[in-house]
Structure 1
Amino acid sequence: MIISVDIELKILDDLMQKIIAKKFKVGEKLPSENELADQYRVPRTTVRRTLAKLEERGFIYSRRGVGRYINNESFQVELNLNGKSSFTDKMKKSGHQLITKNICCERIEFDQQIYDQLTANSEDNIYKISRLRFIQEEPIAIHTSYINQTVFPDIQEDGSHIQSMFAYYRQLGYTELINRNSLLSATFPTLTEQQLLSCKSMEPLIMIESNCVDASSAKILEHTKVLYRSNKFKYNVSRDS
Structure 2
Amino acid sequence: MSEDKETLILDDLMQKITSKAFKSGEKLPSENELAEKYGVPRMTVRNALLKLEERGYIYSKQGKGRYLKEESLQIQLHLTAKTSFTEKMKQAGYNLETRNINCEKIGFDARIYRILNAPENGTVYKISRLRLLDDEPIAIHSSYVNEAMFPDIGEDGRQIGSMFAYYRKLGYTEFASRKSLLSITFPSSKEQQLLSCKSLVPLIVVESDCVDAKEGNILEHTKILYRSDKFKYDITMD
Q: Secondary structure at the match of 2:181?
A: strand
1:13 to partner: Cα distance: 2.4
TM norm structure 2: 0.93
Counterpart Cα distance in 1 of 2:94 and 2:67: 29
Q: 1:132 aligns with which of 108, 130, 133?
A: 130
Amino acid at match of 2:232: F
1:83 to partner: Cα distance: 6.1
> What corresponds to 2:223 in structure 1?
225
Counterpart Cα distance in 2 of 1:166 and 1:28: 42
Counterpart Cα distance in 2 of 1:33 and 1:81: 42
1:119 to partner: Cα distance: 1.6
1:4 to partner: Cα distance: 4.1
Q: Secondary structure at the match of 1:130?
A: strand
> What corresponds to 1:43 in structure 2?
41
1:82 to partner: Cα distance: 3.3
Query: In the TM superposition, what are the counterparts of 1:171-186 in structure 2 within 5 Å?
Result: 171-186=169-184
Query: In the TM superposition, what are the counterparts of 1:51-130 in structure 2 within 5 Å?
Result: 51-82=49-80, 84-130=82-128
Structure 2's unaligned 5+ residue stretches are: none
1:69-111: CA deviations, max 9, x gaps?
2222232212222362111111111011111000001111222
Amino acid at match of 1:212: C
Amino acid at match of 2:154: Q
Counterpart Cα distance in 1 of 2:175 and 2:24: 43
Between 1:165-174 and 1:133-142, the stretch displaced more is 165-174
Question: Aligned residues, how many?
Answer: 237
- Indicate yes or no: 2:7 matched with 1:3: no
Counterpart Cα distance in 2 of 1:175 and 1:220: 14
Q: Secondary structure at the match of 1:179?
A: strand
Change (3 A) 1:237 1:73: closer
Structure 1's unaligned 5+ residue stretches are: none
Counterpart Cα distance in 1 of 2:203 and 2:234: 13
Counterpart Cα distance in 2 of 1:173 and 1:10: 59
Query: In the TM superposition, what are the counterparts of 1:10-29 in structure 2 within 5 Å?
Result: 10-29=8-27
Amino acid at match of 1:3: S
Amino acid at match of 2:131: R
Q: Are the equivalent residues in 1 in contact too, given 2:81–2:175 (CA < 8 A)? A: no
Query: What is the RMSD of the two structures over their aligned residues, measured on CA atoms?
Result: 1.7
1:39 to partner: Cα distance: 1.3
> What corresponds to 1:238 in structure 2?
237
